[in-house]
Chains A and B, each alone.
Chain A
Amino acid sequence: EAGVTQSPTHLIKTRGQQATLRCSPISGHTSVYWYQQALGLGLQFLLWYDEGEERNRGNFPPRFSGRQFPNYSSELNVNALELEDSALYLCASTSPGPPYNEQFFGPGTRLTVL
């Protein structure tokens, strides 16, 4: 069974640009979570998508947004990039229905903002 995949592995942008990160969940999984792991701040919850809708978001500004496609893959967009957006962005997926025990994480996209 293929795991969660993310692309690209690395992304380098400059301040003010936009970044697009992609995530493909495990086959059969309908929920996708996005997390940010910035140096010194730990892993923080960003967004939750389920059945194509944004269901919840963490304490991040609106320039962090995304969407989920009909095939349940997801895209995270970060607009007006700031230096502090440099981080490892992780995507996780879970299966539909209970039990909601385990989130399966992808390898992450490392975003560097110069």
Chain B
Amino acid sequence: DAKTTQPTSMDCAEGRAANLPCNHSTISGNEYVYWYRQIHSQGPQYIIHGLKNNETNEMASLIITEDRKSSTLILPHATLRDTAVYYCIVRVNQAGTALIFGKGTTLSVSS
């Protein structure tokens, strides 16, 4: 079973920041937080990951609370192409560790 809890759906206006929350209250000390997204019927796409520090890349920012029990993925300027299902996954960073997907959050970006 997935070890994360996410809202089922969220809406965002184009050009605004999309903030997607994730609860992972049972996360272990050696587990990372990963975010993937899946645009309709395509393969999932890696977005970002982090252990305890906030992370930023060209796609998004990841904010992890100090107690590591929750995190927020931030898409700073959402576009229509960001409409997708976003999955928050906790995972040990070692060879062979499969991704355990939950139901994710369906983000709808509208103009």
Contacts from A to B (Cβ < 8 Å): 4, 31, 33, 35, 42-45, 48, 50, 55-56, 58, 88, 90, 92, 94, 98-108, 110
Contact = CB atoms under 8 A, between A and B. Distances in A.
A33 to B, nearest CB: 6
Nearest to A94: B95
B100 to A, nearest CB: 7
Given A100-B96, A104-B46, 15 more contacts: A4-B43, A31-B95, A35-B99, A35-B101, A42-B101, A42-B103, A58-B98, A92-B43, A94-B95, A98-B94, A101-B46, A101-B49, A105-B43, A107-B42, A108-B43
B96 A56 contact: yes
15 contacts: A31-B95, A42-B102, A43-B101, A55-B96, A56-B96, A56-B98, A92-B43, A98-B93, A98-B94, A99-B93, A100-B97, A101-B34, A104-B46, A107-B43, A108-B42
B46 A103 contact: yes
A43 B99 contact: yes
A31 B96 contact: yes
Nearest to A105: B43
Contacts of B111: none
B52 to A, nearest CB: 15
A90 B38 CA distance: 12
Contacts of B98: 33, 35, 45, 48, 56, 58
A100 B93 contact: yes
B43 A45 contact: no
A93 to B, nearest CB: 11
A27 B45 CA distance: 18
